[in-house]
Amino acid sequence: MDDILISIIVPAWHEEKFIISTLDSLKKLDYPFKRCEIIVVASADDRTYELAKQQDLSKFKKYVILKQGEGDKNSALQKGIKVSRGKIIVLLDADTIVDKEWLVELISPIISGKAVCVNGNFFPLTRSWIDD
């Protein structure tokens, strides 16, 4: 597991309220930071891009902030994936806080060959009627 680069793609459209908390949770991951890159594709018509740009994620192998142009979440994901270099691609919503063990638990089934795709648990920063 130690030699595999992981790319975490974070599409962030109008997420200025949450992007700092999400990125702060990634800084606490229990995973070798130099084997992980963070790619944020952020809206530039609010403060999301600016706030993401101000964060210090230099402990990661690569930290890239891209401006999201016209399009939807899918186009943001595609833009992030195009610049990623990881063998494993992880998609993370920008309004999510992850546990420090999240990444290790998420990718373990892939690393062991038991799965080719997984979905993990997270702590959403917003609640809705669906959660009740």
**pLDDT of the chain along its 132 residues, tens only?**
558 999 999 999 999 999 999 999 999 999 999 999 999 999 989 999 999 999 999 999 999 999 998 778 999 999 999 999 999 999 999 999 999 999 999 999 999 999 999 886 555 555 555 555
Per-residue model confidence (pLDDT) at position 119: 81
**Rounded-to-integer distance, Cα 122 and Cα 115, Å:** 19
What phi, psi does 8 have (nearest 5°)? -105, 115
Reported as type and span, the H/E element at residue 130 is none
**pLDDT tens digits, 88-106:** 999 999 999 999 999 999 9
74 token code pair? 């899918």
- DSSP secondary structure letter of residue 111: H
R_g over Cα of the chain: 14
Which tokens is 58 given? 């230099």
Tokens of 85: 């270099």
Please tell me the chain's helix, strand, coil percentages from 3-state DSSP, rounded to the nearest 5.
Answer: 30, 20, 50
Q: How far is CA 65 from CA 10, 11, 36, 47, 53, in A?
A: 9, 10, 15, 13, 6
CA distance 28 to 40: 17
Residue with tokens 């959403």: 124
Task: Give me the pLDDT at residue 71, please.
Answer: 78
Looking at residue 3, its pLDDT comes to: 83
